[in-house]
Amino acid sequence: MNDSQAIITTTDFFPPVVDDPYDFGSIAAANALSDIYAMGGEVLFAINLVAFPEALGMELLGEILRGGAEKVAEAGGVIAGGHSVNDKEPKYGLAVTGIIHPDKIKAKGGARLGDVLMLTKPLGVGVVTTALKREQASASEVAAAVAGMKTLNRDAARAAQQCDAHSMTDITGFALLGHASEMAQHGNVDFHFDSAAMPWLPGAVKHAQAGCFPGGTQRNATHFAPLVKFAESIAPWLRELLMTPETSGGLLIAIPEDQVAKFQSLCPAGVPIGHVTSGSGVLHVR
């Protein structure tokens, strides 16, 4: 718009991933807002996107919308309207408008040699929510997953701006390795991950070892496998877990090594899980 302000915009919506309508609305909103934070921006306003079967009743829809509205308010924005259609399956999300300084936009490409790769939320939402559908997840495991999905990436994005992050993206449907592959390819560099450093949600490893994977895991594995080199010691269940879709996941951020301590002071949830080397877009997992 001018020398110091640029508009950024994004959208996302999906069917319920949890049973509670308020939590679903909050999670869907946090997920949609996340792309604004992945660009390093701040939220201005959002538009509701709703598909809903009339038979479920307006009270339930009201709870979904309340969850979304309160999450947008937490982000410092407002709901400025929206659109709804009658549909057999509920779906909810947002079209989000944000603002950023034109010189501070963070893209997927841009990671530099020697950068440290920081992850700002634990992984494993996909297997925990699948276990929930199969009635195999405990209440505490579900609660931890829901809390993670409802957490905004705002603080992580602000920390990334203060620590001169070179690139970042949010971790959602393409899983950690899928979204990391996009970053590595756009930056024309290789990423090296330490599997022992990965943060996991409670129950994630247990359910993965039991084979509790959603359908999207295999699609991701088929698509991204040619771009990933696993050490022989990496178990098959862990390879699948790293390809399992996430919902409203954290940010994966490439920052200079000398900024890691500062980043963690600003974003205590941030964990270093790898580093950047020269290459051509290949991921290495050991």
Tell me what pLDDT residue 95 has.
98
Residues 49 and 148 in one domain: no
Q: What is the pLDDT confidence band of residue 45, given thresholds at 50, 70 and 90?
A: very high
Residues 163 and 261 in one domain: yes
**pLDDT tens string 151-183:** 999 999 999 999 999 999 999 999 999 999 999
Beta-sheet pairing, 189-193 with 271-278: antiparallel
Which residue range forms the structural domain that includes residue 91?
Answer: 6-104
- Whichever domain contains 268, its CATH number is 3.90.650.10
Residues 263 and 123 in one domain: yes
Give residues with Cβ within 8 angstroms of 84, minimum separation 6: 48, 50, 51, 52
The answer to whether 29 touches 68, Cβ cutoff 8 Å, is yes
**pLDDT tens string 55-92:** 998 999 999 999 999 999 999 999 999 999 999 999 99
Mean pLDDT of 195-215: 97
> Considering the entire predicted model, what is its pTM?
0.96
Taking only Cα atoms into account, the Rg of the chain, rounded to an integer number of angstroms, comes to 19
Residue that terminates a domain, selected from 49, 74, 104:
104
Q: How far apart are the C-alpha atoms of 120 and 195, rounded to whole Å?
A: 15
Give residues with Cβ within 8 angstroms of 93, minimum separation 6: 11, 12, 13, 14, 28, 29, 31, 32, 49
Q: What is the pLDDT confidence band of residue 52, given thresholds at 50, 70 and 90?
A: very high
Residues 59 and 80 in one domain: yes
Residues 123 and 143 in one domain: yes
Residues 162 and 57 in one domain: no
